[in-house]
């Protein structure tokens, strides 16, 4: 029987759910209801009309439908070759259904965009031989793509697997590998997986045997996702075929092996780098796909901004020096090096690369590969290459002290050397060279440029839409409302070209450190990493996190990607209390706005106090940053007005009731609030830099001041000004000239109300 998951007796309409969620307005709902029409002889569903009119996306409608019917929502549609083989392609297309899994109790789990079509689900149940069908909801266009994909290669895969299993036992599959690798079905299966990965822009294929079958996963734009499951009986032949293609010993299943192959797909060639590893349930295989043409990336293709290109290229074009690119595996370091070599390549230069392995063939470049087995290491290769009269040397990686010192010495003798190093960011690369035993004077005199790098997924241009980041994500990334106003944040809604992920392709995130001036002096003096970073910041360094945030603000990537790829960046850093820009713990002044970040001194014992301390650890005296009554028992009121006479008058009026401090501008007010932690703020609207509304919004955006009592004052007796202040987040409003009794009553009332 079908199982459309009967909902409660009273089921809410999908239009109401969308309207309640704020995805459509009541007017749009009425418009959609009145515009429902017949399509192919059937009445159009309300959700289809809403999508057709552009009031909501297919994904939003599908999510609402799943909520309405109390069914699971499937954001992605993984393909299981065994389940797909249960029904023919014609039925899947006609019913708009894709089998996802075959469960032990003979239940077929299917994805569909219309789970109320009971007739179609019954047809699927009968054709598949299932006892029942359990539907989950997916977006219609996503489902259409998945069905087309499943009954393309994956249908063939299911047929191939059936052919491989016909007349074959598991024992034969495991013991007669040399024979089965010549079997045509397994050849089609192995080559079909590779061709499908190439078509879907995957960079890696993972073949991972498990207890019940082998999972095949692709890494696309840096993220792994499951593609299909191969039965255990077909695992041995598949892995043997892949090993044979890569020139490996198929009889050796205990030791790790590495191999290479070349694969032709739709007129283009792809190099395969294959690695095996013995695991609990068999050999795991990872295949790296190296596409021809990737080596032709230009400097402008890797993600540099125009400002970064103007800064980096003059250093790359120098006749000598060492350029390092740092970052984890898979962060795009080799692609950036190839882009630099492509920029430098020409008849007037002899460019030689030393790689392990050679990933791409470069035109006009002499490439050599290290071979550890015969002792041809990076260091020995570099010694040999330096006798080949090179102008430019690309060293795949600096791994040991000998290679590091040779590279730096080569850069001092008229050669431009480019290489990579595994560190988290640019400043730590200098410390890493020191740890390798390279003399500081050699680093200071030879190192020209260090670049930290990551790769972030790019927003799909086909389905990009404007978006407003969530408050939680903004807080985690130290963003303020002003950052939103200055940025053009986007996200992908999901479409067929990006497989409904919202992302298509990747862009580079860079941290560019030029070794000159103050940085060079710090390197020579063996300064600690924190001092190196401070010197680099003063010379214009923009961190990985800041570059990523700038690209998110420009709509190139998303804040989710910023958080994902720069998770180790700025972990110990804070934000300036005035401008919310990134500041280090050792900063005395904010380099962006000049705010004083120096620690306070205890009023009782003069001990230096760290930012955030509420009590002096020596004598227990409350710090100026502690909220609540001051030592004399009076509540602390901060008055902000650019007219000194007004501040003086208010101070005189409130003497004996409040301890009053003053500030004369919006920026000074934000700094004073951070430093003094007042109990309440009396704020003039007409300030010269940031007006009172802007200051109020800024204070409300900060977690530590979200509950601070704020009373606005203005010389205008206009209800609209009071309304604007309340919308900005103010608690109350007074007009000038001030009445002492009214002012005291309003301040006390606000404080009592918030305290309650």
Residue 9's pLDDT band (boundaries 50, 70, 90)? very low
Structure letter (DSSP) for residue 689: S
User: Strand runs (DSSP E) across 280-315, as ranges?
Assistant: 282-291
Average pLDDT for 85-98: 85
* Cβ pair 440, 404 in contact under 8 A: no
* Cβ pair 442, 409 in contact under 8 A: yes
Does pLDDT of 179 surpass 90? no
Lowest mean pLDDT among 104-108, 405-409, 610-614: 610-614
Residue 539's pLDDT band (boundaries 50, 70, 90)? confident
**In the chain, how many H helices and how many E strands?**
30, 27
pLDDT tens-digit map of 238-273: 999 999 999 999 989 899 999 989 888 766 788 899
Structure letter (DSSP) for residue 233: G
Residue 700 or residue 237, greater confidence:
237
| pLDDT of 171 | 42
Average pLDDT for 140-161: 72
| pLDDT of 622 | 63
Average pLDDT for 543-558: 92
Does pLDDT of 714 surpass 50? yes
Q: Angle at CA 370, nearest 5°, toward 454 and 326?
A: 20
Lowest mean pLDDT among 327-331, 350-354, 697-701: 697-701
Domains of the chain: 1-80+88-140 (3.30.300.160), 167-291 (3.30.450.90), 298-567 (3.40.50.300), 636-755 (3.40.50.2300)
Give Cα 258 distance to the centre of its chain: 31
Does pLDDT of 744 surpass 80? yes
Residue 676's pLDDT band (boundaries 50, 70, 90)? confident
Measured distance CA(684)–CA(719) in Å, rounded:
16
| pLDDT of 603 | 62
Which residue in 402, 278, 397 sits closest to 329, CA to CA? 397
Residue 211 or residue 46, greater confidence:
211
Lowest mean pLDDT among 79-93, 212-226, 339-353, 437-451: 79-93
Does pLDDT of 291 surpass 90? no
Q: Is the peptide bond before 737 cis (omega within 30 degrees of 0)?
A: yes
Residue 375 or residue 183, greater confidence:
375
| pLDDT of 287 | 96
| pLDDT of 482 | 72
Does pLDDT of 401 surpass 70? yes
What one-character-per-residue DSSP string does 137-193 give?
E--HHHHHHHHHHIIIIIHHHHHHHHHHHTT--HHHHHH-HHHHTT-HHHHHHHHHH
Residue 7's pLDDT band (boundaries 50, 70, 90)? very low
| pLDDT of 209 | 94
Measured distance CA(273)–CA(204) in Å, rounded:
9
Average pLDDT for 637-657: 87
Residue 658's pLDDT band (boundaries 50, 70, 90)? confident
Does pLDDT of 145 surpass 60? yes
Instruction: Classify residue 119 as exposed, middle or buried by CB count within 10 Å of its CB (0-12, 13-18, 19+).
Output: exposed
Measured distance CA(682)–CA(635) in Å, rounded:
13
How many CB atoms within 10 Å of residue 372? 9
How many CB atoms within 10 Å of residue 131? 12
pLDDT tens-digit map of 559-600: 999 988 986 444 444 556 555 555 665 566 777 666 666 556
| pLDDT of 81 | 78
| pLDDT of 753 | 66
Does pLDDT of 443 surpass 90? yes
pLDDT, mean over the chain: 82
| pLDDT of 625 | 44
Average pLDDT for 341-356: 91
| pLDDT of 266 | 65
Measured distance CA(685)–CA(724) in Å, rounded:
10
Residue 609's pLDDT band (boundaries 50, 70, 90)? low
Using a pLDDT cut of 70, give the percent of the chain over it. 82
Average pLDDT for 533-548: 84
Measured distance CA(247)–CA(272) in Å, rounded:
11
Using a pLDDT cut of 90, give the percent of the chain over it. 29
What one-character-per-residue DSSP string does 656-671 give?
TT-EEEEESSHHHHHH
Residue 171 or residue 93, greater confidence:
93
Does pLDDT of 629 surpass 60? no
Does pLDDT of 626 surpass 70? no
Does pLDDT of 218 surpass 90? yes
* Cβ pair 341, 436 in contact under 8 A: no
| pLDDT of 293 | 58
Average pLDDT for 457-468: 90
pLDDT tens-digit map of 499-514: 778 899 999 999 999 9
């Amino acid at each position: 029987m079908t199982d459309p998951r009967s909902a409660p007796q009273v089921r809410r309409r999908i239009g109401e759910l969308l309207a309640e969620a704020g995805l459509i307005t009541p007017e749009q709902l009425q418009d959609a209801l009145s515009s429902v029409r017949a399509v192919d002889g059937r009445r159009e569903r309300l959700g289809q009309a809403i999508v057709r009119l552009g009031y909501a996306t297919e994904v939003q409608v599908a999510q609402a439908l799943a909520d309405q019917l109390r069914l699971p929502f499937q954001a992605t549609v993984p393909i299981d070759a065994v389940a797909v083989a249960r029904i023919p392609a014609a039925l899947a297309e006609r019913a708009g259904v894709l089998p996802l899994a075959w469960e032990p109790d003979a239940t077929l789990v299917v994805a569909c965009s219309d789970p109320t079509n009971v007739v179609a689900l019954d047809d699927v149940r009968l054709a598949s031989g299932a006892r029942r069908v359990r539907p989950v909801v997916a977006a219609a266009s996503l489902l259409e793509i998945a069905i087309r994909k499943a009954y393309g290669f994956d249908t063939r895969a299911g047929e191939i697997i059936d052919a491989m299993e016909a007349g074959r036992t598991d024992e034969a599959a495991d013991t007669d590998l040399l024979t089965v690798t010549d079997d045509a079905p397994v050849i089609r299966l192995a080559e079909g997986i590779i061709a499908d990965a190439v078509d879907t822009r995957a960079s890696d294929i993972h073949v991972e045997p498990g207890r019940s079958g082998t999972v095949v996963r692709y890494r696309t734009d840096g993220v792994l996702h499951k593609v299909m499951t191969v039965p255990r009986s077909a695992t041995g032949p598949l892995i043997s075929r892949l090993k044979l293609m890569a020139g490996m010993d198929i009889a050796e299943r205990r030791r790790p092996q590495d191999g290479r192959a070349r694969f032709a797909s739709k007129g283009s060639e792809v190099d395969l780098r294959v690695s095996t590893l013995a695991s609990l349930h068999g050999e795991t295989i990872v295949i790296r796909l190296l596409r021809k043409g990737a080596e032709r990336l230009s400097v402008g293709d890797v993600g540099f901004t125009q400002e970064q290109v103007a800064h980096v290229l003059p250093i790359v074009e120098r006749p000598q020096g060492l350029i390092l690119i740092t970052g984890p595996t898979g962060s795009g370091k080799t692609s950036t090096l190839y882009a630099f070599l492509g920029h430098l390549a020409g008849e007037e230069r002899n460019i030689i690369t030393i790689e392990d392995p050679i990933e791409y063939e470069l035109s006009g470049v002499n490439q050599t590969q290290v071979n550890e087995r015969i002792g041809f290491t990076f260091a020995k290769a570099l010694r040999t290459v330096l006798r080949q009269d090179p102008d430019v040397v690309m060293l795949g990686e600096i791994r040991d002290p000998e290679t590091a010192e040779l590279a730096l010495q080569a850069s001092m003798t008229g050669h431009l050397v480019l290489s990579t190093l595994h560190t988290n960011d640019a400043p730590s690369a200098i410390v890493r060279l020191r740890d390798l035993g390279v003399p500081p004077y050699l680093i200071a005199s030879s190192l020209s440029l260090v670049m930290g790098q990551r790769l972030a997924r790019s927003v799909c241009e086909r389905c990009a839409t404007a978006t407003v980041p969530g408050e939680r994500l903004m807080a985690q990334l130290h963003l303020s409302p002003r950052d939103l106003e200055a940025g053009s944040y986007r996200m992908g809604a999901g479409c067929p070209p990006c497989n409904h992920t919202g992302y298509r392709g990747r862009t580079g995130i860079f941290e560019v450190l030029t070794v000159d001036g103050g940085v060079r002096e710090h390197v020579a003096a063996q300064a600690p990493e924190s001092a190196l970073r401070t010197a680099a910041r003063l010379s214009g360094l923009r961190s990985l996190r800041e570059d990523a945030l700038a690209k998110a603000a420009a709509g190139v990537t998303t804040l989710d990607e910023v958080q994902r790829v720069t998770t180790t960046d700025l972990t110990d850093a804070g934000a300036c209390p005035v401008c919310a820009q990134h500041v280090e713990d050792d900063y005395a002044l904010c380099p962006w706005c000049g705010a004083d970040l120096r620690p306070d001194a205890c009023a009782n014992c003069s001990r230096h106090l760290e930012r955030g301390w509420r009590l002096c650890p020596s004598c227990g005296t409350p710090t100026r940053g502690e909220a609540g009554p001051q030592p004399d028992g009076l509540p602390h009121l901060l008055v902000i007005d650019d007219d000194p006479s007004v501040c003086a008058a208010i101070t005189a009026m409130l003497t004996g009731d409040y301890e009053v401090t003053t500030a004369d501008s919006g920026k000074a007010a934000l700094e004073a609030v951070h430093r003094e932690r007042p109990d309440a703020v009396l704020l003039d609207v007409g300030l010269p830099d940031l007006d009172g509304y802007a200051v109020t919004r800024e204070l409300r955006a900060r977690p530590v001041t979200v509950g601070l009592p704020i009373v606005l004052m203005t010389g205008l007796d206009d209800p609209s000004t009071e309304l604007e202040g309340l919308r900005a987040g103010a608690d109350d409003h007074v007009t000038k000239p001030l009445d002492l009794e009214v002012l005291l009553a309003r301040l006390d009332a606000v404080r009592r109300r918030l305290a309650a």
